[in-house]
Amino acid sequence: MKRWFAGFAVTLAACTAVLLLPPSAAAQTPAAAYTPPRTREGQPDLQGLWQVLNTAAWDLQDHGATLGVPAGHGVVEGNDIPYKPEALAKKQENFKNRQQLDPENRCILPGVPRITYMPYPFRIVQQADKVVILHEYSRIIRYVYMNGNPHPEGPIDWFMGDSRGRWEGNSLVVDVIHFNEETWFDRAGNYHSDALHLVERFTPTGPDHMLYEVTIEDPKVFTRPWKISMPLYRRQEKDVELLEYECGAYLLKQEWAKPDSPYFNTR
Amino acid sequence: MRRWLLAALAVVGGVVVILPVTGRAAGGDPPQAFFRPDTPKFPQARTWVAQKAKLPPYKAPRTPDGVPDLQGNWNGPVGGGNDDLEEHEYVDVTTPPQESYVSDPADGKVPYTPWALAKRNEIRAGLARGWPGETGQRLYSDPSSLCLNGMPRLAFGGQEIIQRPAQVILLTANTYRVIPTDGRPHMSPDAKFYFGNSRGRWEGETLVVDITGINGETWIDSAGNFYGPNTHMVERLTRVEPNTIDYVITIEDPTIYTRPWTMTYPKRRTGTGAGANAGAIPNAVAAAGAARAADPYAKEVWENTCLEGNHDNVVLLKKLGFKWFDAVTPPK
């Protein structure tokens, strides 16, 4: 009787523990459910043409629709971005003045992780010592080095940061530092400082799906690390390929034709 | 695309000299050096055509997919860069004497129709870079000084080539091409791109890349040699030695040229043979080479920017009155 009860209690506790796990925690360990094919070097094979299918490019958080902006569920875990009070004020200013301030409107390198969830496809190419991410947007290349070199010594201020990768099980884990303060996270004015530190995880969850998770840390702007996650979808169209979005070329051509374009005012 | 920086702007006696200076040596054009007037003439197509005629037959190793293996890091042409693709003597510190990149026609000249030659000469006379024969008017600035780039200029630089089943990937420091080799057709010619629409196929030892859908909004060099929205290009890449790819590009457009014409140069495997500009600044190149050998990051490609740091130069070019270069089509 006593032994039976003890066994029951343990089982009950285990069940309760499973039930109490948040759904996102279950989503973090899909490797058990799916084993991706391997490359010739024996790495999990993430190669191919991928794209998000969400509205994170407009706003990382829950948002309603406005003209030209589709409504969307947020991609932030818990939906709250833990800004410090003064940083929240700046985010709100950014939002108010986003037409003038959003760096995307100047066609500069859009930063990480923003480049990943902009509405353009990207191709992943794996080699033994690096993963190359080719983005259709402005033909940007992200080199994720896995050659044993640590992050180079700073200070370095790069738009796209310095990316160093490693394999954890079936996940590609990328540590990114050495950012500048020129880029945002989305069109809603969410921003960071040059102290930004990202840990990205690309985890295959099926032949045509990956989970993309990013832990975002920036002690100058946020009170604690926070996390976004979203699925990546393998593009299915026959003959799909990366085409071209030469943002800077289109922008300059447009502004050159305007008699009094503010673009040519010295900043 | 991002590599060209208008890094130096000097106003001397009313003549504005705009010197594009490149960064790391992997993309679009080779790194820029400053050349003395006594620099010997750089060899290009004429010399390379004679050299390759003497090479013994070579069969490249195969990839696991059974096609010739072109993978690795390859340099662009040795020399002064593509300031002027036709043969010329010393012009200024960035334009040393150089043979033509053109192997056909044999005279090394782009076979323009009369109106197109007049257009090229008009563009050249309006560059306002202090070259002989200029009118003093400012017409167009080299599109690459506005961070625009396209074919074929991108192919005249260093590249890493990666092959995957049914595709060839060309990486430069900051841009790329992905060339499908699965036999798919071209997109509609109405879909225009700076880089065009590339389709590859293997013919024996050679990767043949057929390019259509080019928008014609950039130049072939920095001196106004141009193509147009109807131009068709065919590239041929053949490994003719273990460490050499013979690069050949044929350009065809009956609306601009009297006949198809061809440029060629050898792509040497990075780290073998002479490096770009080695003839101009041997000591500097040697010193950089020694430092790079000891640097564990030497083989990495770090962030390259163009537009990001070019705003002041773009503003200046606009204020100086340079016009936007639109694709050129024949007069009606």
Mutate to test the interface with B, among A39, A49, A107, A109 (most CBs of B within 10 A): A109
What is the structure's pLDDT at B292?
Answer: 61
Largest CA distance in chain A: 90
% of chain A surpassing 70 pLDDT:
87
Cβ of B162 within 8 Å of Cβ of A143? The answer is no
B324 shares contact with chain A (CB less than 8 Å): yes
Confidence of residue A59 (pLDDT cuts 50, 70, 90): very high
B176 shares contact with chain A (CB less than 8 Å): yes
Q: Please give, rounded to a whole number of angstroms, the shortest distance from the CA of B2 to a CA of chain A.
A: 9
> Is B20 among the domain residues?
yes
Token match 């131009």: residue? B231
What is the structure's pLDDT at B80?
Answer: 83
**Structural domain for B105, as ranges:** 5-319
What is the structure's pLDDT at A32?
Answer: 57
Cβ of A243 within 8 Å of Cβ of B164? The answer is no
pLDDT digits (tens, 9 = 90+) for A154-191: 899 999 999 999 999 999 999 999 999 999 999 999 99
Cβ of A141 within 8 Å of Cβ of B171? The answer is yes
The enclosing H or E element of A89 equals helix A85-96
What is the structure's pLDDT at B190?
Answer: 96
pTM: 0.88
SS (H, E, C) chain B: CCCCEEEEEEEECCEEEEEEECCCCCCCCCCCCCCCCCCCCECCHHHHHHHHHCCCCCCCCECCCCCECCCEEECCCCCCCCCCCCCECCCECCECCECCCEEECCCCCCCECHHHHHHHHHHHHCCCCCCCCCCCCCCECCHHHHCCCCCCHHHCCCEEEEEECCEEEEECCCCEEEEECCCCCCCCCCCCECCCEEEEEEECCEEEEEEECECCCCECCCCCCECCCCCEEEEEEEEEECCEEEEEEEEECCCCECCCEEEEEEEEECCCCCCCCCCCCHHHHHHHHHHHHCCCCCCCCCCCCCHHHCHHHHHHHHHCCCECCCCCCCCC
| Chain B residues touching A39 at Cβ < 8 A | none
| Chain A residues touching B171 at Cβ < 8 A | 132, 141
Q: Using alpha carbons, list the distances in angstroms from residue B156 to A161, A218, A221, B76.
A: 28, 41, 44, 5
| Chain A residues touching B303 at Cβ < 8 A | 109, 158-160
Nearest CA in chain B to A109: B308
What is the structure's pLDDT at A87?
Answer: 98
Question: What distance in Å separates the CA atoms of residue A44 and residue B296, rounded to the nearest whole number?
Answer: 26
Which SS3 state, helix, strand or coil, does residue A155 take?
coil
> Is B197 among the domain residues?
yes
> Is B200 among the domain residues?
yes
Average pLDDT value for chain A:
90
For residue A217, pLDDT beyond 70: yes
| Chain B residues touching A160 at Cβ < 8 A | 303
What is the structure's pLDDT at A12?
Answer: 43
What is the structure's pLDDT at A265?
Answer: 82
Name the residue among B88, B106, B72 with its Cα closest to residue B35. Answer: B88
Which SS3 state, helix, strand or coil, does residue A52 take?
coil
Tens-digit pLDDT profile for chain B (332 aa)? 333 333 333 333 333 434 333 333 333 444 557 899 999 999 999 999 999 999 999 999 999 999 999 999 999 998 888 899 999 999 999 899 999 999 999 999 999 999 999 999 999 999 999 999 999 999 999 999 999 989 999 889 899 999 999 999 999 877 999 999 999 999 999 999 999 999 999 999 999 999 999 999 999 999 999 999 999 999 999 999 999 999 999 999 999 999 999 999 999 999 886 544 333 333 344 445 556 667 899 889 999 899 999 999 999 999 999 999 999 999 98
Cβ of B314 within 8 Å of Cβ of A248? The answer is no
What is the structure's pLDDT at A266?
Answer: 65
Q: What is the mean pLDDT of residues A228-246?
A: 97
Structure tokens at B295: 């640097």
| Chain B residues touching A235 at Cβ < 8 A | none
> Is B92 among the domain residues?
yes
Handedness of CA B301, B307, B312, B316 (dihedral sign): positive
Name the residue among A173, A160, A169 with its Cα closest to residue A200. Answer: A173
Q: What is the mean pLDDT of residues A87-93?
A: 98
Token match 């191709």: residue? A123
Q: What is the mean pLDDT of residues A16-41?
A: 62
Q: Return the domain boundaries, chain A.
A: 35-264
